[in-house]
Structure 1
Amino acid sequence: MSGKMEKLKLKCEIGLISGTSIIASSMIGSGIFMSPHSVMENIGSPGASLVIWACSGLLITIASLCYAEMGTVICESGGDYIYILRTTGQPAAFLFIYSNVLVQTSTTLSGIALSFAINIVAPLYEDDPAPEVAVKCLAAAAILTVATMNCLSTRFAIKLNVLILAANIFFLLVIAVGGLPFLVQTCTFNLQHSFEGTNLHINSIGISFFQCLWSFSGWNHLNCVTEELSHPEVNLPRAVMIAMPMVTALYLLVNVSYLAVLTPREIMSSTAVAVTWGNKVLGRWGWLMSVAAALSAFGSLNGSFFSGGRVCFVAAREGHMPDILSMAHVHRLTPSPALIFTTAVSLIVLIPGDFQSIINYFSFTAWFFYGITLSGLLYLKIKKPDLPRPYKVPIILPIVVLLVAVFLVLAPIIDDPQIEYLYVTLFIFSGIIIYVPFIHFKIFPGILNKLTVFLQLFLEVAPAEKNL
């Protein structure tokens, strides 16, 4: 590719409906079909679990509104990365992208793909666990399929999100409505003394929130693709206002249905609550819940992959990743190198497959960086009040979410300190070892430039600039 070639721009193909679907389909993954087990197990009572779900939905809705203001003030793709870069500085932004690309995004994608695979094969192995090799091969196939779709066509990936979201809403409504007859029968049995046995230890509350908030993961994905969103100053806040109340209401209705059909003990003993619910309510059609969970996981994988690749793309454009990752295909206008890199890392993480412990210990780091982002929003509100703000929230909202973020970061460490939290913290700050020589002092081996030129020719990509 000639250095004089005009830079490319990614197309603005995301409207209000597709933007809403990116948020909602990313959130409605396998979490709502499985997380009620973990939340109930940690908090100890059905009443308290419903409070956790309601509070989580309210917290994420407020956080989303704060991010909507951030996205209209800093109208660039990249989400937390670009917000931290513009308000806190390059070192903090690099530490975010370092931990995000190598662990958080790749682990999330691999975990979702594994959940998809487990639900696909579950009806075939009702009595015995599915072979691990088969599950991982199917998960790898899911990652490669989603990667191929996103590399070939942004429009197709967006349309697929909309279709899967419609199917997800249908299945969740089936669960919500299917529990109504049982609710009338069990309102004085399963739900009586609903707060009895509640575990009020700080660590238990924090872990319950982590497990519940995992089901809301993806709430900020639209902020990662702001430059591809048409009229972001209008559509970003509107998409948030549609998606967040809708998903929160569905989650609460589904949890009430679970509690109406299943006893708290049955929920705590089931790792796939929706499947257990389906077997009890739908009988021989209970396998449909496995299909629903698999479809939801695939939709979440597609939405998470779509946004995760863009964060890597933006970081490369800002000089925090290799230049090749900041390029787009000359014909399809998709950030294919960044998507291919994200795929490769996810497949590597898929090999060991020990996701649960990694997710638990890195959840608190996610809220650490959310806290930094919200601190940046407060900084802009106080120090730069004259910046154009097509949409803004009262200053009390980012303060509330920031305080909750501090609690979620510190609660597990203070109440039940574990050496793993220290390891995670050391890993994040080990990024400084890479940042100082390679980013700050720009020490690059000459072979990297030759590799970049080769990959440009091989992948048919060229530098892409911002959509402003």
Structure 2
Amino acid sequence: MESPDCRDSLVTVIPEKVRMKRNIGLIRGTSLIVGSIIGSGIFISPKGVLQRTGSVGLSLVVWTVSGFISLMGALSYAELGIILPKSGGEYIYIKEGLGDIPAFLYAWISIIVIRTSSIAVVALTFGENMATLFQYCGSPVLPIKIVAAVVIVTLGVINSYSTSLAGRTQVLFTFVKLTSLAVISIGGIVKLMQGNTSQFKNSFEGTTSPSNVAMSFYNAVFAYGGWQNLNFVTEELKNPVKDLPRTNILGLMVTTIVYLLVNISYLTVMTSTELVNSPAVAATWGDRVLGTASVLMPLSVMFSTFGAANGALFGGGRALYAAAREGHFPEVLSYIHCKYYTPFPSIIFTIVISLFMVIPGDIGSLVDFLSFTTWLVYGMTVSCLVIFRFTKKHVERPFKVPVVIPVLFVLICIYLVIGPLIENPQIEFLYAFLSIVAGLFFYFPFVYFKVKIKGFELLTTSVQLLCEVVPCPYEPET
């Protein structure tokens, strides 16, 4: 007897059998982490870190320390992913450790604001660098936004069609961007060998106040953002117990080394003042080192940002999928495609919100806002690991970090959240707070009191039939 068609099986067979496939191994996982981290940050943040630290030496220290901070977080996340091997990342851990309201507020601020605006920022950076390849009258904004929208839609098609294709896309663009950054790093080494070391003499001279140093971490950790993305696809890892810690460590080691080499390279061809005042640091470096081949720099940024946006969408769609599966968002957003085994509705939803985020198009004002909310989430998440050491102490842990690592990481997060608020309050922090509180106005009527919207079930059925998507309940591995 022939197997039933997807459309005929929505109710009887497919909902019980369809699940996302485990096809992400060490290489794809590491590429996802490195590709998600290395995006626009390494081309945007160096001038902000240097400006806020006030000295070359301390800026390099901040870049190194930020890498180690991110590694502590990644190791803590690896243990969390082994304790709770479900896709969804922070949402799953916060819900289990802190309860429904904090989990919903995380899902709200992360899915609706942080991830979508991050995708928009990276896509806009792609558009800005593409614009440098052409001659325009003035500085038109519309072409940049159109390009950004095309990038987001293209990535949506890739991620909706195939997890494997999205993984291969990540591997390809990670390889290309690392090759491009290797050119910058090698160029810097050559310049150092030629004696261009003036910026590294008395390198700590001009160091600024502690409050400015705290803000410099916002710029640096923004560039490291994305190290947690593998935890959003735990159910799609071939071997989560081995792959989570290995890919996290390998990915962050590669990223930290690359970031240090690139920053050193920038400073071998520019003074600290020139770097701070440069409108496009990589382009300035290319003009001085590559000459007529300097067009490679905007292309490098485009490849880098495309891969980073792919990683952000890959993880963001799964976060929404997990939250919907737990009842915190409409159930239809937890369905997966019955042929492609991808969280199709959640990916489409993330794309639509990201496209709306492209409209304002202000990249600079989003960095502090994103960093503030992101490190608030990181602190909440890793605090759950400390809680689980008491509430889930009998759970088998093939990988276990020393307890000092999550405790120290949480203290650092508290500093990064509270320090700038006290020393240098900014309007972006108020926007972040109001965005979080706004989630309560949706939680209580629709989640806590379960208010039903008339006609929504019909809409869900229509989406299910139109998109060929089916429920995908969580089934632990046996």
Same fold, judged at TM 0.5 (above): yes
Shift of 1:451: 0.5
| Change in 2 beyond 3 A, CA 1:442/1:81 | same
Q: How far apart in 1 are the matches of 2:115 and 2:427?
A: 23
Contact 1:87 1:376 survives alignment (8 Å): yes
Which residue pairs with 2:3 in the alignment?
Answer: none
Letter of the 1:161 counterpart: Q
Which of 423, 430, 433 is matched with 2:441 structurally? 433
Partner residue, 1:455 = 463
Corresponding position of 2:19: 9
Are residues 297 and 420 of structure 1, via their aligned partners in 2, closer, same or farther at CA, if it must alter by over 3 Å?
Answer: closer
User: Closer, same or farther in 2 for the Cα pair 1:383/1:91, shift >3 Å?
Assistant: same
Q: In 1, Cα distance between the equivalents of 2:282 and 2:366?
A: 24
Is the CA contact 1:121–1:130 (under 8 Å) kept in the aligned structure 2? no
Equivalenced residues, count: 466
Decide which of 189, 200, 212 is 2:209's aligned counterpart.
200
> In the alignment, what sits opposite 1:91?
101
Contact persistence 1:34–1:274 (CA under 8 A): no
Closer/same/farther in 2, CA of residues 59 and 120 from structure 1, 3 Å limit: same
Give the gaps of 5 or more residues in structure 2.
1-6
Deviations 1:414-442 (A, max 9, x none): 00224542342132022112111110111
SS of match in other structure, 1:215: helix
Quickly say closer, same or farther: Cα 1:162–1:129, change in 2 above 3 A: farther
Task: Determine if contact 2:89/2:228 at 8 Å carries over to the other structure.
Answer: yes
| Displacement of 1:259 | 1.1
Q: Report whether the alignment pairs 1:325 with 2:333.
A: yes
Mapping of residues 154-233 of structure 1, within 5 Å: 154-202=163-211, 204-233=212-241
1:148 lines up with 2:160 in the alignment: no
Residue 68 (structure 2) pairs with residue 58 (structure 1): yes
Equivalent runs, 1:353-432 vs 2, <5 Å: 353-432=361-440
Q: CA deviation at 1:304?
A: 0.8
State the identity %: 40
- 8 Å CA contact 1:37–1:271 kept in 2: the answer is no
Instruction: Quickly say closer, same or farther: Cα 1:467–1:254, change in 2 above 3 A.
Output: farther
Counterpart-to-counterpart distance in 2, 1:128 and 1:423: 35
1:292-371 matches, cutoff 5 A = 292-371=300-379
> 1:282 corresponds to which residue?
290
Q: Structure 1 segments of 4 or more deviating over 6 A?
A: none
CA distance in 1, matches of 2:138, 2:339: 45
1:298 to 1:129, Cα distance in 2 relative to 1, 3 A? farther
- For residue 54 of structure 1, what is the amino acid of its counterpart? T
The alpha-carbon deviation at position 188 of structure 1 amounts to 4.5
List aligned pairs for 1:60-139, cutoff 5 A.
60-125=70-135, 130-139=139-148
Asked if 2 retains the 8 angstrom alpha-carbon contact of 1:20 and 1:239, the reply is yes
Distance 1:92 1:220 in 2: 19
Q: CA deviation at 1:377?
A: 0.3
Could you tell me whether the CA contact under 8 Å between 2:159 and 2:314 is conserved in 1? yes
**3-state SS, counterpart of residue 417 of structure 2:** helix
RMSD across aligned C-alpha pairs, in angstroms? 1.4
Shift of residue 119, structure 1, vs aligned partner: 1.0
Equivalent residues of 2:86, 2:92 under 8 A apart: yes
Q: Secondary structure at the match of 1:4?
A: coil
Give the Cα–Cα distance (whole angstroms) in 2 for the partners of residues 285 and 233 of structure 1.
45
Gap change, CA 1:234 and 1:34, over 3 Å in 2: same
The TM-score with structure 2 as length reference comes to 0.95
Query: 2: CA distance between counterparts of 1:81 and 1:463?
Result: 19
- TM-score of the superposed pair, with normalisation by structure 1: 0.97
